[in-house]
Structure 1
Amino acid sequence: MITYLIDDAGALSGPITFPPIPGFGPQLPGNAVQVPKTLATPELGKTWALIDGATQQIRDLRGTVFRTTDGIEQSWRQLGELPEGLTPQPWPGEHFKWIDEQWTLDESAQRAAQSAQVLDHRDNLLRDAQLRIAPLQYAEKLGTATPEEQASLMDWMRYSVELNRIEQQDQFPSAIVWPPQPQPQRR
C-alpha cells in the first residue's frame, strides 16, 4: 500500500514514507490514507482527492479568486469547480465588468470617470482663475486699473473661456490640450 497525506479540502499529497517508530513499528498520522498503487501526476489544474473512498482527479482552484460582481478578491479553499459568481481570472481593474465569462472593459463607464476627473480639474483651475480675475475687475470698475492690469484681466478672462471649452476638444476626455495659464504682465 502507498501512503498519501490528505488535507482539509480532501486533496492528496505524496507518496509519503514514514519511518517505523522503534518498539511500535509503522505508525500513520490521522491525516494519512493508503491506496493500492502510486498515483500518476494529475492533469494540469487538477489534483488527486479521496472521494467516497475512491481516488479521483478533481479540479483544484484553491487560492485567490475574484467575485464577478465587483472584482474583489477572496480566498477559496475547496476542491472542484467554483460556484457561480467567482472566477480565477484576476480582475484587471476599475471599469471592467464580467460579461460572457470574461472581464470586459466598460468603455462608457471609463469615459464617464475620465470626464468627471477632467471636469473636476478644470473647475479647480477656473476657481483659481476667478481669484486672479476678481481684483482686476474691481480695479477696472473703480476706474483705477493700470494698462498692465487691464491686459492681465483680458488674458485671465480668455484663459477662463478656453478652460470652459475643453469639452469641445476632439479627444475629450482622453487627451486634453490645456490652455497655458497667463503670465504676469511685465512693467
Structure 2
Amino acid sequence: MSGFAVRDDGDLGWRSIASIDELFPNEVFSAVEPLPASPPEPSVEELSATAKEQRDKLLAVAANRMGPLQDAVDTGRATNEEVAQLAAWKGYRIDLNRIEQQEGFPAEILWPLSPDESSGPEPIKTPTE
C-alpha cells in the first residue's frame, strides 16, 4: 500500500509512507488514488462515423425545410423569396454532402451554415467530437 500521511503539527507537511504501520502517533493516513486515465483519442473511423451522423441529422433538417418550398415551386405557387430559399437550402445540402472531401476530414470540419444561420456569423471550424 502506498499513500501519504500528514503531521498534525502542520509544520512538516506531507511525507510518503509505504503502509499504515509507518504512521507516527500524530499522523493521519490518507490513501492516494491513482489519477484516472484520460480517455483514448478517437480513431479516424470513430471521428468519421460521428461526423457522418451529424451530417445526416443536418440533412434531415434540410429535407424538412425544403419539402414545403419544393411543393410551392412544383405547383407554381412559389414566391420569388421561396424560390431563393429553396436554392439556398439545396446549396446547403450539397455542401453537407461534401464534408468528406474537405482537407482535414474527419478531424477538422468546416460545417456549412444553414440558410437559417447564414445571416449570422461565419461557419465554424471545429474538431469532431
TM-score normalized with structure 2 length: 0.61
Partners of 1:160 and 1:147 in 2: CA distance:
20
- The answer to whether 1:123 aligns with 2:56 is yes
Q: 1:15 to 1:180 in 2, by over 3 A?
A: closer
- The answer to whether 1:155 aligns with 2:88 is yes
Partners of 1:163 and 1:16 in 2: CA distance:
67
Q: 1:13 Cα shift?
A: 2.4
From 17, 21, 30, give the equivalent of 1:13: 21
CA RMSD of aligned residues (A): 2.7
Q: Whose relative contact order is higher, 1 or 2, with alpha carbons under 8 Å and at least 6 apart?
A: 2
Helix, strand or coil at the partner of 1:154: helix
TM-score normalized with structure 1 length: 0.43
- Larger of the two Rg values belongs to structure: 1
| Alignment of structure 1 residues 1-187 onto 2, 5 Å | 13-14=21-22, 64=33, 91-95=37-41, 110-183=43-116
Identity among equivalent pairs (%)? 37
- By percentage of residues, which structure has more strand? 1
The C-alpha deviation readout for 1:34-61, integer Å capped at 9, x for no partner, is xxxxxxxxxxxxxxxxxxxxxxxxxxxx
Give the number of equivalent residue pairs: 94
- By percentage of residues, which structure has more helix? 2
